[in-house]
Structures are given as C-alpha cells and as structure tokens.
Structure 1
Amino acid sequence: MAFHPAATAEFDDSTVNVSRTYAWVVFALTFGLLISDYMSRQVLNAVFPLLKSEWALSDSQLGLLSGIVALMVGLLTFPLSLLADRWGRVKSLTLMAMLWSLATLGCALAENYQHMFIARFLVGVGEAAYGSVGIAVVISVFPKNMRATLTGAFMAGGMFGSVLGMALGGILAQHLGWRWSFAGMALFGMLLALVYPLVVKQNRIGHSRPAASATDEFPCRRPLKTLFASRSVVSAYVGSGLQLFVGAAVMVWFPSYLNRYYHMGTDQAGVVSAIIVLTGGVGMILCGILSDRLCRNAPDRKIALAIAYCLISCVLLSLAFRMAPGAPQLVLIALAMLVATGTSGPAGAMVANLTHYSIHGTAFATLTLANNLLGLAPGPYITGVLADNFGLDRAFQLIPLISVAAALVFWYGKRHYHQDIQKLAPLMASEER
C-alpha cells in the first residue's frame, strides 16, 4: 500500500510514493538512532560521581564535559543541516551516527580529563544536526497529514533516550565500571549506523532536485528564502521556543523541587522526575496524534490546538505549584506536562508546510536553534535566578506565564497562515518548473 496524499493548499507539493511498511521501517531506524544520540549524550550524567572520584574533578569540570556537547550542537546545527540537505541526508545521518558512536567509545577509552573533553567535543560535533536532518528524512516518507504526529513522536525520542542513557549507564557502571557505560552506548550506535544505509536508500526516500540552470550559481538560494519568508513560520519558531522554556525549566529543576519541598533523596527524586520527563515525552506523541486527527482537512486548526496546549498547561502548572506538596500536586504536574510539550508537533508541521521540501533539514535546524536559544537554554537559567531571589516554589508559580506569550505568538501566526501559504505558492511552482 502506498501513500498518495491529496493535493492541499499547503506549501509543500512533494509526493510520497513508498510502501507503508517501508515508511515505518525508515521511521524506526531513524528514531532508533535518535535514541542512541541522546543515550550517548546523557550517559555522562550517570557516571559523574565515579569520574569525580577517580580523576579528582571539580563540579565545574564535570559541567563542562556536559556543556561542550550542547555548545557544539547549538553552533553547528544550522551549517551542518544545510550541508546535509545538499550532500544527501542518508549519507549525512550515517556519518553523524558513526562519528558520535566512535567518540563515545573514545570516552570509554579516555585516560584523563583532557582525553574525555576531546571525545565529548566530538560527540557534540556528531550529534549537532542529527535531530533536524532526521526529522526531515522521516516526514519525507509519510503524508503531510501526519506531520504533527511524526514531529512530536520524533522529538519525544530525545526524552526517552535521555532517560534510557542515564538508567542503563548507571546499571552498567554499577556492575561493570563506568567505561562500559560509554562502551555500551557506543556499540548500540555503531550497530544502527551500519544497518541504516543498508535499509534506508536516498533514491527511495529522496525527491529529485530540479536541475540548476547554467546561469543559476546557487540553485538552493530561492528555497532558502522560505526559512524566514513568512510571518507564520517565524511564529512557529518563536512560539515553539517559548513553550519549551516552560518544559525545560520544570524538567531541570523538578528534582531540586522534590528534594527541597518533599524532602526526597536524590535517588527517589530522580525516579519521580524521570516519570515526569517520560510524561512529557508521551504528551509530545499523543498531542501530535490528536492534532493530525482533528485537523486533517484544516491545517490551520493545528495552530489553534497549539494555542490551547499553551493555555491549558499554563493553567494546570499555575494551579499545581500553588498546591501543598503531596500526591494531588504531583498528579496535576504530570497532567500539565502531558500538554505542555504538545506544541512540538503542530510547530513542526507549520515549519514543514511553510518551507521548501529541499531544505527541510535546514528548516528544522532553524526550529532547533530557536528551541535552544528561546527555551532550553534560558528556561533553566532564569528559573535559577528567580529561585535565588524568591524561592524555587515561587519561581515555579511564575514560569508558566511564559506559555501565555507562546500562545500569543501562535495566535499571530494563525492569523497570517492562509495568506502566507498563498504568497509562497508561486515560489514553489517556479522551483518545480
């Protein structure tokens, strides 16, 4: 059975002509590599105490080992995604996965802090563009009416991978030593990297690019204009980043909240926090599915749902953090996080619909950059500043208000969505002639 999506008014007129089975195989392998990506990134957190003891490291040195990966991802996501769009996404993903896996193996073999830092630097280089290019591959083999589901599910893989990396890394370290924590993640990634190009073929998933004319020195120049050519797509970037500000703040600081106000030990707080993180991951998937199911024939309704997700999460989190500590509060926080991450799917669908398919890797890199600059980086930091001045409980009461700003940005994008689609359609038509 093949997918043949009906024509719509959306900007991307590329077609999908692969079997349902093959499409899901592509998704499974690409998703598996994303799991490997985050397992390799987060396994370090599980062995912090062992490294600190063995090499007599300071907390700042340990923090730098973690931060260097995020830094390289932030710096290199956009340029490497642009190169992948031009060089070939499947080849690029395979190279990325092999690089971060070999670098993770290098962590296992590190003899001192300097060796470990170089290895972690290379992990960051390898992982920099995987998320953006990976989702571009996934949406290329499915119909457009599944984009919110696929984007939400794919982004949730980062949360699942983070939890698995820390959990499995801790188990391996406990029984075999910390070096096997890194080695286990590396072997898993290398195995998938070897299988991936044997199954996922560029000529089966790729769209043929129009031949460049003799006078066109930069054939990708016009599609690149669509990255920021409409108010709607800019709203998707900004709205997504602002909403992730809230989710990131809760995920990073919730263990400390449990320790301070529930008097939990680090082990118990970690388990409860992991459940909250997994709830957010499940929410990405379920909210994406809901968006696609309810908005199959009206893509702009996805934006209305994104607005609803923002406002519902704001109300639930605000109420939850005004409650006394206890089981009812934890349940309400979990429900809030189920919705708080739900904007990932609709925002990803907006970006895919409003940018040229030949630069989808670059477009999702731009979304990733916005998510990091507006949400994942400042959210935990500003929460810490507020906690220093007012207390962590008060900070958590204020942070959900950012969701109101995210809702307003999405509302602005919704107002201009149809107009932007119509404005961009001629560019798409000219590229296909």
Structure 2
Amino acid sequence: MALPASDNQRSQARYALALLLSVNLLNYIDRQALYAVFPLIKADLNLSDTALGFLGSAFMFCYMLTAPLFGRLGDRINRVRLAAGGLAVWSLATMLSGLASSYRTLLAARALVGVGEASFGTVSPGLVADHFPPERRGRVLSLFFLASPVGSALGYILGGQLGQALGWQKAFLLVGLPGLLLTLPLFYLAEPRPASGEAGTSNREKFLPELRRFLANRSYLHATLSMAAMTFALGGLAQWAPSFLLRSFGLELARGNTIFGGITVLAGVIGTLSGGWLGDRLQRRTPTGYLRVAAAGFLLGAPLMLLALTTSSLPLCLSAIFAAELFLFLNTAPLNTVLVNVVPPGRRSMGFAVNIFTIHALGDAVSPAIIGALSDRWGLRGALLITPLAVLVAAGFAWRGCRYMAADQQQAEAGPP
C-alpha cells in the first residue's frame, strides 16, 4: 500500500536529511584528519612548520576561491549531482593523499579536497532547507550543522588513532573510503523542487550584478558579516587555545588539545541544537527571531570569553570556555536559516557561495596570523583579547540586521523582480 503523499514527502525529507548529514560529517572528518597526523607527516617528509601550514592553506584557499564558481553552477544545474560530484572528488583526493610520496603530491591532493568540499558546501544547506517548511528549518539546519563540531572531533580522533596504528598514508585511505560508498546514494537523491519554482532564475544574470544583489540584501549582508566576525573569533581561538593553556597554565600540549577538543564538541552539540530550537520558537512570534537568538548568544558569550582569557584559575578558565562556546554556537542554525529565508530559491547556491568566501576570507583565514603577530608584541593572552571584541562586532551586525529582516524575507518569498 502506497504512503499518502504527505507521509511520503516526510519520509523523503527525513532520508535526505540523514544522508546529507552523513556526508557533511565526512566533509569535516576528511578536512580535520590532516591536522591529527601533522607530526607523522612532518617526520616522514622532513617538513618545516611553514610547509605543514601550507597544507592547510592550500585547502582553505581552494575552498574559498572555487565556492563562487560552484554557487553559480548550483543555480544553473542539478544541485544533487553537483553535491555528489564534490563528494566523489574530495573522497578520491583524500585517498590520493594516502598515496602521496612527496610534499608536492600531498599539497595538490589537499588543494583538490578543498575544491570537492566547496562543491558540496555551496549547495547542501539549500538542499536540506528545500526539503522542509520554513517553520522547521532552524531545527533541521541545526541537525545538519552538528557535523561541524562532531565531524571535526571524529576527524581528529580517527586520524590520530589510525595514523598512530597504521601510518598517515593508510589513515587517509581509510577515512576517504566511506565517501565513495555514499556517492551513489547521494547521486540518486531527489532534487527538491524550490517552493516558488524559481530554480534557475539567476542563470542569465552576470556575476557582478548578481553579487551586487546580495550586497544590497541587507539582512543577508548583516548575517554574513556577523558570521565572519564570529568565524574570526572562533578560528583564532581554535588554533591558539591549546598554546594559551600551555603558556598560561602549564597544561601539556597533547592534553590541552584533547580537553579543548572535548569542550568544543560538547558545547557545539548543545549550542547548535538549542539555537535551532530557540530560533524556530522565537521566529513564530517575530520575523527577527533567528537574528535575536544569534545576537543574544554573542552578547552572552563575549564576557565569558573575556573571563576565560583573564582568570588565573584553570578550572574557571575551562568552564568559561565551555559556556562561551555554547552561547556562540547558538548562532549556527539561526544565521544559516536567515540566509535561506532571505534569498530566493533560485539564488541560494550562489548565496551560500558568497557567504562561504566572505566568512573565511574575513574570518579564520586571517585571524590566526593576526593573533600570532599581536602575540609577538603583547603576549598571547593580550593578543587573544581581540576575540571577544570580534564577538561583540558579530552581535552588532546580527542585531542591526533585525530592522531589515521582515522586508527582505517578504521579497525573497515573492521571488526575484
């Protein structure tokens, strides 16, 4: 007996969420596994720290620079095929990393991982959102973006354990394999039809005029700048926190990495899920609900970050880091839902592409280096004090975006002119 249409649609939506969440977990696992085997690669290939750093930079710059291209394609062609192609490319590139016998080959493979993940990253949030009604998108996207803290932790754990037991090459081969197994199911996933039937409306529009449309969308712009400021803070904190714990409290580096990673995963899961739930509830009362949740999280997180960086008590520092990250992760689902809701369906892939480029270019692509340079002048504790300031900037952008949200959402629902 066939399921009723509504039941069948719900089943398809749940299947799509489960599959895309699984792929997104692999996205972060394959991305972070590299850093877990840094010491093994350094010793085996006799690399400097600078050369090691370029392995991460190669990924990030290719990820940023190709995102607009895939965003453009995502609004022209089938997004599911683009996501599946990206999964196949980055999974093969991860396995190619395991076959690399020279630094140049490994560098090229990591750059290719960035290209594949950009293809998936630009289209996947829109795919998830289009399977669900607007009033459920906050909670649904909070589940989808759980992949960030959980997948990152799994990448570090799996990469480290497999690398220690089997060597870094086999670690890459093994973490890359599951992606190939999911490529075919993803390829045959149904492409959800945009609610207003606007897929492809941006096909004939040139890049620069389309970019100006996003910059003129004030809710989109403020949400993106808020995310960039938050990424600046969290990216810098993620790289320098273990060193801060070592220098300020004498916490051994490996233990500091483990503790900080555990704090981030737990805070990330609780904060991300809570933010989606709170955002959906408040959004039913006011069109600014998602932005208000994000702004409140930033305002609560900033003083806790300041406390963590200034206290002389290790237990208080770790507790404050946990509480601060929990509040900061409240923004994940709400701000991404804002992007979905204020951009017409036919432009969402490009919208996420511009967002990806902006938040990383202004965020974690530059903040670790800036903090490092300031640390040489002020010391690491003083340099890290710019991170709570960045969080306050994020709160300001989120709060200011509230005044434009209702009009921009109505315009997106009405479709492009």
Normalised TM-score (structure 1):
0.88
**CA separation of 1:208/1:343 partners in 2, compared to 1, >3 Å: closer, same or farther?**
closer
Conserved in 2, the CA contact under 8 Å of 1:239 and 1:407? yes
Partner of 2:84: 94
**CA separation of 1:2/1:79 partners in 2, compared to 1, >3 Å: closer, same or farther?**
farther
Partner of 2:316: 328
**CA-to-aligned-CA distance 1:51-96 (integer Å, 9 cap, x gap):** 2222222222221122101110010111112102211111001110
Of 181-190 and 79-88, deviating more is 79-88
Q: Does 1:196 align with 2:186?
A: yes
**CA separation of 1:137/1:18 partners in 2, compared to 1, >3 Å: closer, same or farther?**
farther
**CA-to-aligned-CA distance 1:354-376 (integer Å, 9 cap, x gap):** 11111211111222222112222
**CA separation of 1:144/1:338 partners in 2, compared to 1, >3 Å: closer, same or farther?**
same
Select the residue among 248, 251, 254 that pairs with 1:264.
251
Q: Residues of 1 paired with 2:29 and 2:100: CA distance?
A: 18
Q: Does 1:345 align with 2:333?
A: yes
**CA-to-aligned-CA distance 1:229-256 (integer Å, 9 cap, x gap):** 3222211111111122222222111111
Letter in 2 for 1:299: P
Q: CA deviation at 1:320?
A: 2.5
Q: Residues of 2 paired with 1:212 and 1:106: CA distance?
A: 35
Conserved in 2, the CA contact under 8 Å of 1:226 and 1:355? no
Partner of 2:22: 32
Conserved in 2, the CA contact under 8 Å of 1:42 and 1:166? yes
Select the residue among 264, 276, 283 that pairs with 1:277.
264
Conserved in 2, the CA contact under 8 Å of 1:279 and 1:337? no
Conserved in 2, the CA contact under 8 Å of 1:152 and 1:342? no
Q: Does 1:176 align with 2:166?
A: yes
Partner of 1:405: 393
Letter in 1 for 2:30: S
Percent identical pairs in the alignment equals 31
Conserved in 1, the CA contact under 8 Å of 2:223 and 2:335? yes
Conserved in 2, the CA contact under 8 Å of 1:245 and 1:379? yes
Q: Does 1:307 align with 2:279?
A: no
Letter in 1 for 2:390: I
Conserved in 1, the CA contact under 8 Å of 2:70 and 2:122? no
Conserved in 2, the CA contact under 8 Å of 1:224 and 1:359? no
Q: CA deviation at 1:309?
A: 1.0
**CA-to-aligned-CA distance 1:90-117 (integer Å, 9 cap, x gap):** 1001110001111111111112222212
What secondary structure does 2:76 align onto?
Answer: helix
**CA separation of 1:332/1:366 partners in 2, compared to 1, >3 Å: closer, same or farther?**
same
Q: CA deviation at 1:208?
A: 8.0
Partner of 1:50: 40
Select the residue among 260, 279, 284 that pairs with 1:291.
279
Partner of 2:239: 252
Conserved in 1, the CA contact under 8 Å of 2:196 and 2:415? no
Q: Residues of 2 paired with 1:146 and 1:426: CA distance?
A: 20
Q: CA deviation at 1:195?
A: 2.3
Conserved in 2, the CA contact under 8 Å of 1:243 and 1:341? no
Partner of 1:136: 126
**CA separation of 1:88/1:217 partners in 2, compared to 1, >3 Å: closer, same or farther?**
closer
**CA-to-aligned-CA distance 1:188-215 (integer Å, 9 cap, x gap):** 11111122223x122x5556856999xx
Conserved in 2, the CA contact under 8 Å of 1:2 and 1:20? no
**CA-to-aligned-CA distance 1:320-349 (integer Å, 9 cap, x gap):** 322213212211210110011222222212
Select the residue among 122, 144, 159 that pairs with 2:112.
122
Aligned residues: 413
Partner of 2:218: 231
Partner of 2:204: 218
Of 184-193 and 400-409, deviating more is 400-409
Q: CA deviation at 1:166?
A: 1.6
Q: Residues of 1 paired with 2:60 and 2:4: CA distance?
A: 39
**CA separation of 1:294/1:61 partners in 2, compared to 1, >3 Å: closer, same or farther?**
same
**CA separation of 1:153/1:382 partners in 2, compared to 1, >3 Å: closer, same or farther?**
farther
**CA-to-aligned-CA distance 1:275-314 (integer Å, 9 cap, x gap):** 1221342122321221112322423122122211111111
Partner of 1:69: 59
Unpaired stretches in structure 2, ≥5 consecutive residues: none
Q: Does 1:367 align with 2:373?
A: no
Q: CA deviation at 1:155?
A: 3.1
Please identify runs of 4+ aligned residues in structure 1 that moved more than 4 A: 1-4, 204-213, 219-226, 422-428
Conserved in 2, the CA contact under 8 Å of 1:249 and 1:383? yes
Q: Residues of 1 paired with 2:206 and 2:137: CA distance?
A: 23
Letter in 2 for 1:60: T
**CA separation of 1:281/1:360 partners in 2, compared to 1, >3 Å: closer, same or farther?**
same
Letter in 1 for 2:204: F
Q: Residues of 2 paired with 1:137 and 1:210: CA distance?
A: 14
Conserved in 2, the CA contact under 8 Å of 1:156 and 1:284? yes
Letter in 2 for 1:347: L
Letter in 1 for 2:147: G
Q: What RMSD over aligned residues (CA atoms) do the two structures have, in Å?
A: 2.6
What secondary structure does 1:86 align onto?
Answer: coil
Select the residue among 395, 402, 405 that pairs with 2:383.
395
**CA-to-aligned-CA distance 1:214-233 (integer Å, 9 cap, x gap):** xx982799987652332222
